[in-house]
Structure formats: structure tokens, C-alpha cells
């Protein structure tokens, strides 16, 4: 069930990102001409949705084992700290693109951390 959930969530996130890539410019025009400039930001956020969705799905293994302090100290705080740091670094120069980039990088790092936990804690050890 865990792997099926991971595959379905990842597939849905990829499908959503592809949909936004294809129809994003048209959808942004619904909000007005000035929103055309937001396509790059939209693409970064659509791409960020993939590691976010996979990370949230994979994160369930930590929660199911009741490792709440581990999840706070090793996943949540680093992810949010990285996001805040990158926001501080990037927003003043790049605006919304910088904010979206910081968000994407933070979730990529969180996904790597969760997968590291998964590989070290959940896979059977060959002894």
C-alpha cells in the first residue's frame, strides 16, 4: 500500500505539473494581462509540487513509526530553515521567482532527507 500510494501521489504530481506547463499561460491570462509574467514562477512551483508530494507520501513512514521528534528535528525544521534562509537570500533580487525557488529547493532537500531515513530504517539489512 505504501509503494502504491507513493507511485499514485508521484504520478498525480507529475500529471499536474505537465498540465500546468501546457495550459499555464492560458490559465494565468484568466487573471489579467499582468499575470503572463508569472509563468516562470508557476513552472517552478509546479516542479516543486513533485518533490513536495513525494516527500509528504514518503514521510508517512516516519509518522507511522511514531518518530515525531525525529521528524521535527531532521525533516521539518531543516526544511523550513532552508526555506527561510533562501527566501531571505533570493526574494530581494528575484521576487516571486526567488520565493518559488527557495520553496522548491527546501522540498527537494526534505525529500532527500526522508528517502535517506527510508533507506536506512526501512529497507531490510543484509547481514
Chain segment 36-70, per-residue pLDDT in tens: 889 999 999 999 999 999 998 988 888 777 878 88
Predicted local confidence at residue 125, as pLDDT: 65
User: What b-and-e string marks burial along 10-28, b requiring 16 or more CB atoms within 10 Å of the CB?
Assistant: beebbeebeebeeebeeeb
CA-CA distance, 69 to 60, in Å (whole number)? Answer: 14
- The answer to whether the Cα torsion of 82, 85, 88, 94 is positive or negative is negative
More confident position, 60 or 6: 6
Q: What is the pTM of this model?
A: 0.84
**3-state class (DSSP) for residue 30:** coil
User: b/e per residue, 111-120, with b = 16+ CB within 10 A?
Assistant: bebbeebbee
For residue 112, name the pLDDT band (cuts at 50, 70, 90). Answer: very high
Amino acid at each position: 500500500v505504501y509503494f502504491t500510494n507513493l507511485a499514485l501521489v508521484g504520478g498525480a504530481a507529475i500529471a499536474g505539473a505537465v498540465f500546468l506547463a501546457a495550459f499555464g499561460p492560458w490559465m494565468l491570462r484568466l487573471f489579467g494581462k499582468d499575470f503572463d509574467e508569472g509563468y516562470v514562477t508557476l513552472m517552478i512551483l509546479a516542479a516543486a509540487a513533485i518533490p513536495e508530494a513525494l516527500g509528504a507520501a514518503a514521510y508517512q513512514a516516519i509518522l507511522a513509526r511514531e518518530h515525531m521528534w525525529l521528524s521535527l528535528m531532521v525533516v521539518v525544521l531543516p526544511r523550513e530553515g532552508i526555506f527561510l534562509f533562501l527566501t531571505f537570500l533570493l526574494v530581494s533580487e528575484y521576487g516571486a521567482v526567488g520565493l518559488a525557488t527557495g520553496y522548491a529547493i527546501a522540498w527537494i532537500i526534505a525529500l532527500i532527507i526522508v528517502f535517506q531515513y527510508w533507506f536506512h530504517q526501512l529497507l531490510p539489512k543484509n547481514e
